[in-house]
Amino acid sequence: MERILHENRLKLLKTQEPLTFVYKKSCESPDSHSLHINNYVEVFIYISGDVDYIVGESYYTLKEGDIILINPHEVHKAVVRSTAVYERFYILIPVDAFLGLTFDPLQKILDRPENASAVVSLSASEWSIIKPLLYSIDRLAFDGGDREHLEAYGKIIELMCTVDSCGQTAKNEQTRNVGQLPLLIKDALGYIDRNLTEIPSVADIADRLHVTLPYLSSMFKAHIGVNINSYIRIRRVAFAKRLLDDGATVTEACFDSGFSDCSYFIKCFKQHIGTTPLKYSQSRRRL
């Protein structure tokens, strides 16, 4: 069971979806995190712990100061490899949080190509700037009133602008995990990503990879922390969400994302997004 050593949450912006800043240090078990999709941009900053991270089909081994930029269409989860102290910051930002600014620091995250790395791996000098900024925001959140919270909001904008200027694709690709995952699981993730909307069954994946279905299922669960059917299902929901954002109808999003039954699609979408595809689509059109 999770044991919280320290947690501080700061909610800013008095809107329906406030910007949320979290510093968390806890002891957690390997089964304590589930694969999920956000309705906002997440900026995750890793400090320490025996933890890897999966975003979509990519699996990352992290070092202190690595920043994961997650857009609202990407499934993701922490893969807790053993029970140990796990320390991190994360910021949950509504996609329209900075629309009034001349420069929107979320734009590169929202527009990032699907195959681009989600990780910004900082140099020592870059981390020396960002690390004290994070702890400064945490102190303002813990001790402050409205004035301090406004200052924290300004520092979060400063943080986002600094992160935007730090990201370099060449460095980011160095953080892609090449050793922790067995080749079978890397191949399975790649196959699912290339054929997401057309996979008839998990048995088809096992056949293509020349292994038995029970072996593939047990290996996938052991290393990714979720069963392979659930992984495919939530990836399809995430893709359907992207299609709805691009103007697709509910029926188009259902079949184009790989679902064959609209009732089942609506059930899965509501389970992972918290609302039906129709209500989600209507809410996006009002933005």
CA nearest neighbour of 48 among 16, 12, 92, 82 = 82
Q: What is the CATH number of the domain that holds 190?
A: 1.10.10.60
Q: Do 137 and 187 fall within a single domain?
A: no
Q: Do 163 and 195 fall within a single domain?
A: no
Confidence of residue 15 (pLDDT cuts 50, 70, 90): low
Q: What is the CATH number of the domain that holds 19?
A: 2.60.120.10
Which pair of structure tokens corresponds to residue 169? 């694709």
% of the chain surpassing 70 pLDDT:
90
Q: Do 149 and 220 fall within a single domain?
A: no
When pLDDT is averaged across residues 195-211 and rounded to a whole number, the result is 96
Q: 15-43 burial, b for 16+ CB within 10 Å, e for fewer?
A: eeebbbbbbbbbbbeeeebebebbebbbb
CA distance linking residue 238 with residue 244, whole number of Å = 10
Lowest pLDDT segment from 27-36, 72-81, 266-275? 27-36
Query: In this model, does residue 204 exceed pLDDT 80?
Result: yes
Q: Which of 175, 205, 237 is the last residue of a domain?
A: 175
CA distance linking residue 182 with residue 177, whole number of Å = 11
Query: In this model, does residue 197 exceed pLDDT 80?
Result: yes
Q: Which of 175, 200, 216 is the last residue of a domain?
A: 175
Question: When comparing pLDDT for 106 and 141, which is higher?
Answer: 106
Q: Do 162 and 190 fall within a single domain?
A: no
- pLDDT digits 0-9 by tens, 54-63: 998 889 999 9
Q: Which of 116, 141, 175 is the last residue of a domain?
A: 175
Q: Do 154 and 200 fall within a single domain?
A: no
Give residue 160's domain range.
Answer: 3-175
- pLDDT digits 0-9 by tens, 246-264: 999 999 999 999 999 999 9
Query: How many structural domains compose the chain?
Result: 2
Q: Do 58 and 199 fall within a single domain?
A: no
- pLDDT digits 0-9 by tens, 205-241: 999 999 999 999 999 999 998 999 999 999 999 999 9
- pLDDT digits 0-9 by tens, 108-137: 888 887 777 889 988 899 999 999 999 999
Q: Do 125 and 192 fall within a single domain?
A: no
User: Which pLDDT does position 4 carry in this prediction?
Assistant: 65
Query: In this model, does residue 2 exceed pLDDT 70?
Result: no
Q: Do 247 and 117 fall within a single domain?
A: no
Average pLDDT in the chain: 87
CA distance linking residue 214 with residue 249, whole number of Å = 37
User: Which pLDDT does position 14 carry in this prediction?
Assistant: 67
Q: Do 147 and 272 fall within a single domain?
A: no
When pLDDT is averaged across residues 48-54 and rounded to a whole number, the result is 93
